[in-house]
Amino acid sequence: MKSIVLLLMSLNIFAVNIGEVPKELTLSDKNGGLEHDASAWSSSSIKDKVHVLFYVDPDEKDVNDEFFELLDAKEFNSTVVGRISIVNLAATWKPNYIIEMLLSARQDVLPDTIFLKDKKSVLVKE
Protein backbone atom coordinates (compact mmCIF):
# COMPACT_ATOMS: atom_id res chain seq x y z
CA MET A 1 0.00 0.00 0.00
CA LYS A 2 2.83 2.35 0.90
CA SER A 3 4.44 1.90 -2.55
CA ILE A 4 1.15 2.69 -4.30
CA VAL A 5 0.80 5.94 -2.37
CA LEU A 6 4.40 6.89 -3.20
CA LEU A 7 3.82 6.06 -6.86
CA LEU A 8 0.69 8.21 -7.00
CA MET A 9 2.47 11.06 -5.25
CA SER A 10 5.40 10.90 -7.67
CA LEU A 11 3.07 10.86 -10.68
CA ASN A 12 1.32 13.95 -9.38
CA ILE A 13 4.64 15.82 -9.26
CA PHE A 14 4.86 15.53 -13.06
CA ALA A 15 1.19 16.28 -13.76
CA VAL A 16 0.06 19.37 -15.62
CA ASN A 17 -2.85 21.11 -13.97
CA ILE A 18 -5.83 22.50 -15.85
CA GLY A 19 -5.04 25.99 -17.08
CA GLU A 20 -1.30 25.43 -16.71
CA VAL A 21 0.84 25.60 -19.85
CA PRO A 22 3.22 22.63 -20.10
CA LYS A 23 6.89 23.04 -20.97
CA GLU A 24 7.44 23.55 -24.71
CA LEU A 25 9.12 20.61 -26.41
CA THR A 26 10.67 20.49 -29.87
CA LEU A 27 11.60 17.60 -32.12
CA SER A 28 14.00 18.61 -34.88
CA ASP A 29 17.11 17.62 -36.80
CA LYS A 30 18.90 14.64 -35.23
CA ASN A 31 16.21 14.36 -32.54
CA GLY A 32 13.35 13.79 -35.00
CA GLY A 33 10.46 15.76 -36.39
CA LEU A 34 7.44 15.41 -38.63
CA GLU A 35 7.16 12.13 -40.50
CA HIS A 36 6.08 13.51 -43.86
CA ASP A 37 8.89 16.00 -44.42
CA ALA A 38 11.27 15.69 -41.42
CA SER A 39 10.68 19.33 -40.52
CA ALA A 40 10.78 20.51 -36.93
CA TRP A 41 7.76 20.14 -34.66
CA SER A 42 7.03 22.05 -31.47
CA SER A 43 4.47 21.28 -28.80
CA SER A 44 3.48 24.96 -29.05
CA SER A 45 1.66 23.98 -32.26
CA ILE A 46 -0.86 22.01 -30.19
CA LYS A 47 -3.58 24.57 -29.68
CA ASP A 48 -7.10 25.56 -30.68
CA LYS A 49 -8.48 22.02 -30.34
CA VAL A 50 -8.33 18.90 -28.21
CA HIS A 51 -5.47 16.57 -29.12
CA VAL A 52 -5.17 12.89 -28.36
CA LEU A 53 -1.48 12.09 -28.09
CA PHE A 54 -0.03 8.60 -28.47
CA TYR A 55 3.61 7.99 -27.55
CA VAL A 56 4.48 4.71 -29.23
CA ASP A 57 7.17 2.11 -28.75
CA PRO A 58 7.55 0.53 -32.23
CA ASP A 59 7.78 -2.92 -30.63
CA GLU A 60 4.34 -2.37 -29.03
CA LYS A 61 2.68 -0.47 -31.90
CA ASP A 62 -0.50 -2.59 -31.98
CA VAL A 63 -1.40 -1.79 -28.37
CA ASN A 64 -3.24 1.39 -29.43
CA ASP A 65 -5.14 -0.08 -32.40
CA GLU A 66 -8.33 -0.72 -30.44
CA PHE A 67 -8.37 2.83 -29.11
CA PHE A 68 -7.73 4.22 -32.63
CA GLU A 69 -10.73 2.21 -33.86
CA LEU A 70 -12.90 3.58 -31.05
CA LEU A 71 -11.89 7.14 -31.95
CA ASP A 72 -12.65 6.47 -35.62
CA ALA A 73 -16.08 5.09 -34.71
CA LYS A 74 -16.91 8.35 -32.89
CA GLU A 75 -16.21 10.30 -36.11
CA PHE A 76 -14.89 13.35 -34.29
CA ASN A 77 -14.57 16.45 -36.44
CA SER A 78 -10.85 16.86 -37.22
CA THR A 79 -11.15 20.64 -36.83
CA VAL A 80 -12.07 20.08 -33.17
CA VAL A 81 -10.16 16.90 -32.21
CA GLY A 82 -6.66 16.13 -33.45
CA ARG A 83 -4.43 13.09 -33.18
CA ILE A 84 -0.70 13.04 -32.67
CA SER A 85 1.27 9.82 -32.82
CA ILE A 86 4.88 10.11 -31.68
CA VAL A 87 7.08 7.11 -32.39
CA ASN A 88 10.03 6.59 -30.07
CA LEU A 89 12.64 5.28 -32.50
CA ALA A 90 15.20 4.91 -29.70
CA ALA A 91 13.00 2.32 -27.95
CA THR A 92 13.53 -0.45 -30.49
CA TRP A 93 16.19 -2.59 -32.10
CA LYS A 94 14.45 -2.25 -35.47
CA PRO A 95 16.24 -0.09 -38.06
CA ASN A 96 14.85 3.43 -38.36
CA TYR A 97 14.45 3.24 -42.13
CA ILE A 98 12.00 0.32 -41.80
CA ILE A 99 9.94 2.12 -39.16
CA GLU A 100 10.00 5.31 -41.24
CA MET A 101 8.71 3.36 -44.26
CA LEU A 102 5.84 1.98 -42.17
CA LEU A 103 5.12 5.45 -40.76
CA SER A 104 4.95 6.93 -44.24
CA ALA A 105 2.39 4.30 -45.27
CA ARG A 106 0.40 4.92 -42.08
CA GLN A 107 0.46 8.70 -42.75
CA ASP A 108 -1.09 8.04 -46.17
CA VAL A 109 -3.94 6.07 -44.53
CA LEU A 110 -4.46 8.62 -41.71
CA PRO A 111 -3.74 12.04 -43.25
CA ASP A 112 -5.39 13.95 -40.38
CA THR A 113 -3.04 12.38 -37.82
CA ILE A 114 0.26 14.11 -37.12
CA PHE A 115 3.01 11.49 -37.09
CA LEU A 116 6.28 12.40 -35.40
CA LYS A 117 9.61 10.67 -34.99
CA ASP A 118 11.40 10.93 -31.65
CA LYS A 119 14.83 9.57 -32.51
CA LYS A 120 16.53 10.17 -29.15
CA SER A 121 13.69 9.64 -26.61
CA VAL A 122 13.52 13.42 -26.15
CA LEU A 123 9.97 13.33 -24.79
CA VAL A 124 10.78 10.54 -22.34
CA LYS A 125 13.68 12.56 -20.96
CA GLU A 126 11.70 15.79 -20.75
* Cα separation, 114 vs 35, whole angstroms: 8
pLDDT recorded at residue 5: 40
pLDDT, mean of each 10-residue run, the chain (126 residues) = 42 64 88 90 90 89 85 88 92 91 90 92 86
Residues 6+ apart with CB under 8 A from 124: 55, 88, 118
Q: What DSSP state is assigned to residue 36?
A: T
Domains and CATH numbers, the chain: 23-125 (3.40.30.10)
**Residue 18, SS3?**
coil
Q: What DSSP state is assigned to residue 21?
A: P
pTM for this one?
0.79
pLDDT recorded at residue 48: 87
* Cα separation, 96 vs 31, whole angstroms: 12
